[in-house]
Structure 1
């Protein structure tokens, strides 16, 4: 068992079809930090093509895009997380905190029922 306690990985599945989980949430965070889909993807160890594919999937699933991007060129490209993207990320992180905080007793109870490692 993890010495720091259990980790919660929230995975939301919608009929859109969309799966919103820790990877896409991290991609949104990093796009917001770097202003770049390629830089965010690189930091996560994924290709630009994969990062762009995930952005397209998220953008297509919501009423408004989560990421706005401009093509490269002389002035360079860039990407920003839109207000809708920030709202989705804020709600996702709120759910993570809720599960961690309100579920602490249940997480501890499950942990207490697990086998302990032999010394």
Structure 2
């Protein structure tokens, strides 16, 4: 593989930009003439080179060397980020859904937070914010530590969790159908 860019960092110092700059191949990675370029991000190069690549980088791959182009249907898949707003304010997203499901399963805020990667303080802040936006309790908690304490999702929050999960499944399903429909064969 080789990394080729029309705008490497050293041309910036020479005030060379645009189509007039020759492409430069980063040495030690491979040959430039291996195939059709595929897009790669500069984050791919972290730890591999000291140069910064502010613009498009082309990654030449052996898999792309054939004259036959790969099918877009095989390689492309849409991804979605969905969330619910309540009167214009953020209420919950997919991680909140996972958190509330985890509270239901584990019975504690701390264990549920661990499952989604939140600290206990973050969990409390997110719960307070959801309750402020919603105007109702999200969790019913009891004090008492490991033996007597715990948390459970309120019926109102459970309805929201169910609604959000069903909506997300349906949105993803319909989006996948639409994506396959418009994708060229």
Using the size of structure 1 for normalisation, the TM-score is: 0.77
Task: State the alpha-carbon separation in 2 of the partners of residues 56 and 32 from structure 1.
Answer: 18
Task: State the alpha-carbon separation in 2 of the partners of residues 6 and 90 from structure 1.
Answer: 23
Shift of 1:84: 0.7
**Aligned equivalent of 1:45:** 117
Q: Which has the larger radius of gyration?
A: 2
Task: State the alpha-carbon separation in 2 of the partners of residues 74 and 97 from structure 1.
Answer: 35
The number of residue pairs the alignment matches comes to 112
Q: Could you tell me which of 108, 112, 115 is aligned with 2:180?
A: 108
Which runs of 5 or more residues in structure 2 are unaligned? 1-71
Which structure has more relative contact order (CA 8 Å, sep 6+)? It is: 1
Shift of 1:71: 2.2
Shift of 1:10: 1.1
Which runs of 5 or more residues in structure 1 are unaligned? 114-119
**In the alignment, is the contact (CA less than 8 A) between 1:16 and 1:61 conserved in 2?**
no
Is residue 103 of structure 2 the alignment partner of residue 31 of structure 1? yes
Task: State the alpha-carbon separation in 2 of the partners of residues 74 and 29 from structure 1.
Answer: 19
Q: Could you tell me which of 62, 72, 91 is aligned with 2:144?
A: 72
Between Structure 1 and Structure 2, which shows a larger proportion of helix residues?
1
Task: State the alpha-carbon separation in 2 of the partners of residues 75 and 95 from structure 1.
Answer: 36
Task: State the alpha-carbon separation in 1 of the partners of residues 75 and 157 from structure 2.
Answer: 34
Alignment CA distance shift 1:70-1:10 (3 Å): same
Is residue 77 of structure 2 the alignment partner of residue 5 of structure 1? yes
Alignment CA distance shift 1:104-1:31 (3 Å): same
**In the alignment, is the contact (CA less than 8 A) between 2:109 and 2:151 conserved in 1?**
yes
Q: CA RMSD in A?
A: 2.6
**In the alignment, is the contact (CA less than 8 A) between 1:18 and 1:57 conserved in 2?**
no
Alignment CA distance shift 1:14-1:6 (3 Å): same
Task: State the alpha-carbon separation in 2 of the partners of residues 82 and 3 from structure 1.
Answer: 42
Task: State the alpha-carbon separation in 1 of the partners of residues 179 and 100 from structure 2.
Answer: 28
